[in-house]
Structure 1
Amino acid sequence: MTEARIIIVVAMAENGVIGRDGDMPWKLSTDLKRFKALTMGKPLVMGRKTFEAVGGKPLPGRPHVIVSRGPKIDMPGVETQASLQAALERAKVIAHASGVDEVCIAGGGEIYRQALPLCDELHVTHVEAVIDGDTVFPAIDPALFELVEEAAFPAGEKDSYPTRYAVYRRRAAA
């Protein structure tokens, strides 16, 4: 089996905002269902603050590797690593052992910033709105990432905004 690909999964507003006050500044039930389908069975790497923001317990069906320089998080289905690099190495081992070919990075802002140069693909939910927030996703450089898939979704019954789901693949080095 080849080494697991690194996938960033993120929802961001038109102005790059991904969070406000430690939470997501929108409700997107449709996107959460897509996130679950995309990440199910795959190792999920995230920072400690993001882990706490999603409830401080692992999302079902996905092994979690949490990046934290603080105390180890001691619960089933969760491992703690002191750096993103160590977390990715551990997540790749878990992916290989689980027979999956992707490791998913789920935030937050600092983890995304560090992971962007390392990732193979971006799965981006573009929230069709300009939203106030305190955490942003770095700009996606079209010289580095090519848009390979895109679909628009109207706001569903439990969604604050319409969205556009896009997949960007890292371009081959010239």
Structure 2
Amino acid sequence: MLAAIWAQDKNGMIGRDGQLPWRLPNDLKYFKKMTVGNILVMGRKTFEGMGARPLPDRETIVLTRDPSYTAENVQVMHSIEEVLDIANQQTKSVFIAGGSKIYQLFLPYCDYLYRTIIDEVFAGDTYMSDVDWSHWKLIEKKEGVVDEKNLYKHQFEIYEKV
């Protein structure tokens, strides 16, 4: 299974200066729950924005056009075809985890979309690629808990390709 997973504000913004512009522990827990034991695919900038280290208990693939790029404890790939070949051979789920250009490349191949919508507007410089929602069916929607650590109203959505 190939899926994309991301969080966005009301305007589709997903990042600022290579980082998340909000603090929402519920979303980080959700991301972890969905991706542990699976494979993450991300671009070099996203990987480096996370400290250039793989997340625990997940295989990480870094996609880059730089043929000399290396990083410890990750697979480095240079084409969408390499990633799709890996995804087609896996029993594990493969999650596309950013950034914007990487989502744009892989959305046509995804079977599922996992989207967190934060009911706020933040300042940022990176936006989610356009999604043609006519190809997707909402199969699950869950309100996130707002509390002293999770200050923003948010919801988790799962879409399946139709």
Q: Secondary structure at the match of 1:143?
A: helix
Counterparts of 1:105-120 in structure 2, within 5 Å, are 105-120=96-111
Q: Which residue of 2 aligns with 1:73?
A: 70
Question: Residues 74 and 132 (structure 1 numbering): CA distance in 2 closer, same or farther, change over 3 Å?
Answer: closer
Structure 1: unaligned runs, 5 residues or longer = none
1:41-86 Cα offsets, whole Å, 9 max, x none, are 111100010001111101011111100122232412x010012332
Q: Do the aligned residues in 1 keep the contact of 2:52 with 2:71 (CA within 8 Å)? A: no
Q: Do the aligned residues in 2 keep the contact of 1:10 with 1:123 (CA within 8 Å)? A: yes
After the TM superposition, which parts of structure 1 deviate over 6 Å for at least 4 consecutive aligned residues? Answer: none
> How many aligned positions are there?
161
Q: Do the aligned residues in 1 keep the contact of 2:2 with 2:110 (CA within 8 Å)? A: yes
What is the TM-score of this pair, normalised by structure 1?
Answer: 0.86
Q: Name the amino acid aligned to 1:156.
A: D
Using the alignment, how far apart are the partners of 1:26 and 1:60 within structure 2?
A: 22
Structure 2: unaligned runs, 5 residues or longer = none
Residues 1:39 and 2:31 aligned together: no
Q: Do the aligned residues in 2 keep the contact of 1:84 with 1:111 (CA within 8 Å)? A: no
Q: Which residue of 1 aligns with 2:146?
A: 155
Q: What is the aligned-residue RMSD (CA, Å)?
A: 1.5
What is the TM-score of this pair, normalised by structure 2?
Answer: 0.92
Q: Secondary structure at the match of 2:103?
A: helix
Residues 1:14 and 2:4 aligned together: no
Q: Which residue of 1 aligns with 2:112?
A: 121
